[in-house]
Amino acid sequence: MNLTLHVWRQAGPDAPGKMVIYEATGVSPEMSFLEMLDVVNEGLTERGEVPIAFDHDCREGICGSCSLMINGVAHGPMRGTATCQLHMRSFKDGDTIYIEPWRARAFRVIKDLAVDRSPLDRIIQAGGFITAPTGSAQDANNILVAKESVDDAMDAAACIGCGACVAACPNASASLFTAAKITHLGLLPQGQSERYRRALKMVQQMELEEFGSCTLHGECQEACPKEISIDTITRMNRDFLRASLLGTRP
């Protein structure tokens, strides 16, 4: 396959950026999207040019590092797929592909396609923990949890923190990410001690990070590589409202 790539290049956070055209030739349909970028970078390095900076780590759809807008879609055209799991067979020979970083005020561009997603880390730090006694682990059979609660909690826990929901949202809201973190702890017995303080603190931190407000467009769940439902946002709003009405302190 031969492809034409329009790639966003930006030397640093305060440097001007622009789209640069590259030709990707001899691309195997079995390559992942990141492997295709690796091949392009090898060619740039051989020519003495600066390779394209992009984030990656596990390349197994777990770490959430591969945050790219591909033809205007977070993680590309395949639903429920991270960029590292996207294969070039999803494109046709001769295609033109536009590759950009996440676009959100809270995600500052570091270089080229790499953005600073530490605001998501700070939201987790604000309340993503539970109170647990020290010592040996309690026998799991002593804690009874309804199957529906377990299933919903594990669905929310699948969030990999990639930020696709923010990039896809017209308001650049982090509500789906924050709600997933609040939900997966709030549905389990171990997370009840901090349940309402957690919702209050994490939502307040989300607002401090300059993410936009949620207006339930639903674009977030469409872009999420783990297909997390916006039902989690309903749970987050309910816990936040209760914490506010009860005068819960952060």
Domains of the chain: 3-111 (3.10.20.30), 118-245 (1.10.1060.10)
The arithmetic mean of pLDDT across residues 158-178, rounded, is 97
pLDDT in tens, 56-66: 999 999 999 99
Distance CA 171, CA 165 (A): 10
Alpha carbons within 13 A on the beta-carbon side of 206? 27
Q: Output the pLDDT for position 249.
A: 75
HSE, side-chain direction, 13 A CA sphere, residue 139: 2
Rounded to whole angstroms, how far apart are CA atoms 153 and 168? 23
Mention every residue, 6+ apart, whose C-beta is less than 8 A from residue 176. 165, 169, 220, 221, 224, 228, 230, 232, 233
Over residues 77-102, the pLDDT tens digits come to 999 999 999 999 999 999 999 999 99
In angstroms, the first-to-last Cα distance of the chain is 55
pLDDT, tens digit, 9 for 90 and up, residues 177-207: 999 999 999 999 889 989 999 999 999 999 9
Compute the average pLDDT of residues 27-47.
Answer: 97
**Lowest mean pLDDT: which of 19-28, 128-137, 215-224?**
128-137
Residue 148 has pLDDT above 90, yes or no: yes
pLDDT of residue 74 exceeding 70: yes
pLDDT value at position 131?
81
The answer, yes or no, to whether residue 139 has pLDDT greater than 80, is no
What per-residue confidence (pLDDT) applies to 33? Answer: 98
Interval 220-245 mean pLDDT: 95
Model pLDDT, residue 140: 67
Return the SS3 of 103.
coil
pLDDT by residue (tens digit) across 218-230?
999 999 999 999 9
**What pLDDT does 132 receive?**
75
